[in-house]
Structure 1
Amino acid sequence: MNAPLKQNLPALAGGGHVMAIVPQTFEETFRVAKAVYLGGLAPSALIGKLEGDAAISAVTVAIMSGAELGLKPMVALRSFTVINGKPALYGDGLINIVRQSGKVTYLRTGCEIRDGQMIGWCEAKRNDTDEDKRVEFSQEDAVRAGLWQTEAVVTKWNKWDKKNEQKPNDSPWWRFPQRMLAWRAAGYCLRELFGDVLGGIRDEYEAREIADAEEIRDITPRKEPPAPPMPPDEGVTIDAATEPEPQREEQPFDSTGYFEAMETALAGANDEATVEEIWTDLDPDGTFDGDDESRGIAQKIKDRRLSQINSEIGG
């Protein structure tokens, strides 16, 4: 009886240097993105509600955006998010790209207490031009920008049940104020000093605030063109005396003016009771009945003013 043949399998080797898989063409990039998506590794913040080829395309664009900044594919997916259709970097991703550029002599960030106020700071220097910069973003700056959070529980609008609810404050400005101050300072500092490296990419939190501001400004409803007049039926004469008067074209509701009036009215409120009184008088629930998007914008304006009032009281 013959002995079974032994398969000559290659020996496993250890200690080798593992290289990242970096696609060189669009087709290769799309294949990597497809593998990431099918493997369930695509970040939800990146693909949102997209599915299939649309989700794969979003991952592909993120990988390509990262490649332009010198990031390997999987690092790019961990560093990028998409806000209002625009790519943005997480705070640590912004710092990582600058460090990897090879143009940094030093880059330091931190947060300190000065006169009872938190001060986030970032200082850096280029090694090719010897330019240096230090930028600070203080607690007072955050309060003035309407970012500072002081309440552990906040009022949020439940669009499903159509009512306000008290919920734990999940804002990063409440949970990680020192880190947020430092990252905001880093965003300003690094974009000014290393604009050629970052290529105009903003950090996540600044991009989100810009998107919220654009959402409030861009609220004018689109005006549908009027239907062309229909000719009268043949053989039918219209008596001028009985001809109906032309109907006036109904003007669309001026949402922009409404929100501007709301912001102006709330700016004069100095306590929560006055805010609620103004809210009741303007009646956004009835004004935007069935329009959850506009109702949500009104709620953001109200929440922002309440946050400013609470900050002023706490200060």
Structure 2
Amino acid sequence: MTELAIRQNGNTPALTDEQPQHPGSELVAWAESAVAANNIAQSLAKTSFVPKAFQGKPDEVTAAILAGQEMGLSPMAALRSMHVIQGTAGLSAIALRGLVQAHGHEMWTEESTSTRAIVCGRRKGSTQEERVTWSMDRATKAGFPAKNPNYKSQPQSMLLARATSECARLIAADVLMGMPYSSEELADESDETAPATKTRKISRKKPEPVAPEPEVVAPAPDEDAEPESRADAEPVHDEPLWPEAAQPGTQPTQ
């Protein structure tokens, strides 16, 4: 029966699983999910139930919800587990571990101290076991303690996070395709967590001008004052300077 005959009879062909879907149908469905996620984000961004980094940022909340949805996380779980460090989003190590275990894969901690962490894992249906060791010596050689002060304040947690993240990728890379690196790993590579270098502040204030010392002027001599010594006084002649006979304008006596 032709398609025209089917339409004339008022019948419509039933859709079956064998019939291919429209190439853009998945994109349309994703766009509809994005609109729904944004509607939720507009309300969540105003509350204190979302992390501080997402508060007042509905677009960031929308992106986090959509990214978490692709990995099977609920909106609130995605917001609590996701961190953006220098423009790159990452899940916490415990969230990566939870996703791996939720898909039926096994992960367990063999050792966890302040100097070494050993995490093991096995993929579902496999007998091969993966074993990852992270020590403080390994972290120091990579330069992480110099960038991330958490290696000094809580070394056990940081080493366990590194071992957990690496083991999760080894046994379940397909589960973590959307976000393969943990936020702890991103922080180790970031300069945002590096301690600030203390610098001495040099004052640029101009010195205040110093007033010049007053010029000392010697007092003028007092003409009416008597001289202190005879040597300073003008000579006084009681006798004439010339003999009487030699004085000019006089005639010698006979």
Tell me how far apart the structure 1 counterparts of residues 183 and 54 of structure 2 sit (CA, whole Å).
12
Tell me how far apart the structure 2 counterparts of residues 94 and 188 of structure 1 sit (CA, whole Å).
10
Matched residue, 2:186 = 207
Which residue identity lines up with residue 39 of structure 2 in the other structure?
R
Match status 1:76 vs 2:71: no
Q: Deviation at 1:112? A: 4.4
- Can you list the C-alpha shifts for 1:190-245, whole angstroms capped at 9, x where unaligned? 112211101142111211233339x9xxxxxxxxxxxxxxxxxxxxxxxxxxxxxx
Whether the aligned pair in 2 keeps the contact of 1:29 and 1:60 (CA below 8 Å) is yes
Matched residue, 1:43 = 51
TM-score, normalised on structure 1? Answer: 0.47
Query: Going by fraction, where is helix more abundant, 1 or 2?
Result: 1
Which residue identity lines up with residue 93 of structure 1 in the other structure?
A
Alpha carbons of 1:121 and 1:46: their partners in 2 closer, same or farther (altered >3 Å)? Answer: farther
- Can you list the C-alpha shifts for 1:265-310, whole angstroms capped at 9, x where unaligned? xxxxxxxxxxx9xx99xxxx99xxxxxxxxxxxxxxxxxxxxxxxx
List 4+ stretches of structure 1 deviating above 3 A: 110-113, 128-131
Tell me how far apart the structure 1 counterparts of residues 77 and 163 of structure 2 sit (CA, whole Å).
23
Tell me how far apart the structure 2 counterparts of residues 100 and 182 of structure 1 sit (CA, whole Å).
20
Match status 1:124 vs 2:124: no
Whether the aligned pair in 2 keeps the contact of 1:111 and 1:181 (CA below 8 Å) is no
Tell me how far apart the structure 1 counterparts of residues 48 and 72 of structure 2 sit (CA, whole Å).
24
Tell me how far apart the structure 1 counterparts of residues 133 and 42 of structure 2 sit (CA, whole Å).
42
Secondary structure at the aligned position of 2:191 is classed as: helix
Alpha carbons of 1:110 and 1:89: their partners in 2 closer, same or farther (altered >3 Å)? Answer: farther
TM alignment of 1:48-67, pairs within 5 A:
51=56, 55-67=57-69
Matched residue, 1:184 = 162
Matched residue, 1:196 = 174
Matched residue, 2:215 = none
Structure 1 or 2, whichever has the larger Rg, is: 2
CA RMSD of aligned residues (A): 3.0
Q: 1:143 aligns with which of 140, 143, 155?
A: 140
Secondary structure at the aligned position of 2:190 is classed as: helix
Matched residue, 1:171 = 149
Whether the aligned pair in 2 keeps the contact of 1:34 and 1:56 (CA below 8 Å) is yes
TM alignment of 1:84-163, pairs within 5 A:
84-102=86-104, 104=105, 106-109=106-109, 111-112=111-112, 118-148=115-145
**Residue segments in structure 1 that go unaligned for 5+ positions in a row:** 1-23, 150-169, 216-275, 287-315
Whether the aligned pair in 1 keeps the contact of 2:120 and 2:131 (CA below 8 Å) is yes
Which residue identity lines up with residue 29 of structure 1 in the other structure?
A
Q: How many residues get paired?
A: 166
Q: Deviation at 1:110? A: 5.0
Tell me how far apart the structure 2 counterparts of residues 182 and 148 of structure 1 sit (CA, whole Å).
14
Tell me how far apart the structure 2 counterparts of residues 211 and 174 of structure 1 sit (CA, whole Å).
17
Q: Deviation at 1:177? A: 1.0
Q: Deviation at 1:28? A: 1.5
Matched residue, 1:31 = 39
Matched residue, 2:222 = none
Tell me how far apart the structure 1 counterparts of residues 63 and 136 of structure 2 sit (CA, whole Å).
36
TM alignment of 1:241-280, pairs within 5 A:
none
- Can you list the C-alpha shifts for 1:142-172, whole angstroms capped at 9, x where unaligned? 22122347xxxxxxxxxxxxxxxxxxxx932
TM-score, normalised on structure 2? Answer: 0.57
Q: Deviation at 1:45? A: 3.0
